[in-house]
Amino acid sequence: MTASFRSSRYSTKKRVLVTGGAGFIGSHLCARLLEAGNQVLCVDNFFTGTRGNVSDLLDHPEFELMRHDVTIPLFVEVDEIYNLACPASPVHYQFDPVQTTKTSVVGAVNMLGLSKRLKVPILQASTSEVYGDPAIHPQTEDYWGNVNPIGPRSCYDEGKRCAETLFFDYRRQHGLAIKVIRIFNTYGPHMHPNDGRVVSNFIVQALQGEDITIYGDGKQTRSFCYVDDLVCGMMAMMASADDVTGPINLGNPGEFTMLELAQAVIELTGSSSKLVYRPLPQDDPRQRQPDISRARDQLGWDVSVPLREGLVKTIDYFRALIAQA
């Protein structure tokens, strides 16, 4: 689909909107888009995103930062839209669950409306949480999921599921060029130190010499994708043919137990931290692993950063962050 803004106005460069652009993943995406020669409009309400995440980009002549909440309509001129706006960790999305649902659902309506008006492609950052506590393993995009619609995690899980519904209905009804990806556990620099996610939790606890908290028996599994790999997949999805709509899983199919992750973090940090066990939170999935066959076939995308290599980079980031505190 041809972008009306770029083709008829001032620049031959694409102007790309990234909502949630000052967040963990969004900030890396903004940097990569700039490296690729684009103009970037970063929009964030700074609930979980921080100005510090994009501080290195503020002086870039093609970067613009705007404080805005996607639950309010946005009137800008752009050529592509990446919709990442939504708190993504339980600590943050459960803080104000009604607002979390509104961000996913009303935010999607507003961004889809912008895409419709401008006739430009839009990518939705959905999540592996749409699979809930999966009854099949690994998870393929054809699996409809096992989600509790009224639990404490539902504001995020069901909000993202509804956003996917809206994206495909807008395509069917209005012919929008949509792209939907489902992001599996991602980690790397710019993670919030208090976001409650397992990688940041373990690293911060280990670096501070605190006990490492294991929920449940520690045998539940996750698959961890380094943020650079994820961003490459997102950009490959946006560049794909119009008929590649997704949903497409993006994640690292390597599967690790929480105990294996904790032991790796202790080893790589040189920490003397001990493991302590707490009850498993309600609706916490027992296993999570993406089938990325579709991403490999349709996008030519695959992961390249092994877990230990990514952990070293993430540990270095948190070590520097803690030293500055």
Which residues are within 8 A (CB) of 149 and not within 5 positions of it... i.e. 6 or more apart? Answer: 158
Query: Amino acid identity of 139?
Result: Q
Find the helix packing angle between 307-324 and 258-269, rounded to 10°: 60
**CB-CB contact of 224 with 256 (8 Å):** yes
**What SS3 state is found at 189?**
coil
Q: How far is CA 53 from the centre of its chain?
A: 15
Taking alpha carbons only, the member of 152, 138, 147, 279 closest to residue 222 is 138
Q: What DSSP string describes 31-72?
A: HHHHHTT-EEEEEE--SS--GGGGGGGTT-TTEEEEE--TTS
Q: Beta-carbon neighbour count of residue 60 at 10 Å? A: 15
How far is residue 79 from each of residues 45, 111, 117, 183, 196, measured CA to CA in Å? Answer: 22, 13, 11, 23, 35
Supply φ then ψ for residue 130, to 5 degrees: -65, -20
Nearest by Cα to 255 from 300, 298, 223 = 223
156 is catalytic: yes
User: Which one from 82, 93, 156, 187 is the annotated catalytic residue?
Assistant: 156
DSSP state letter for 119: T
Active site members: 156
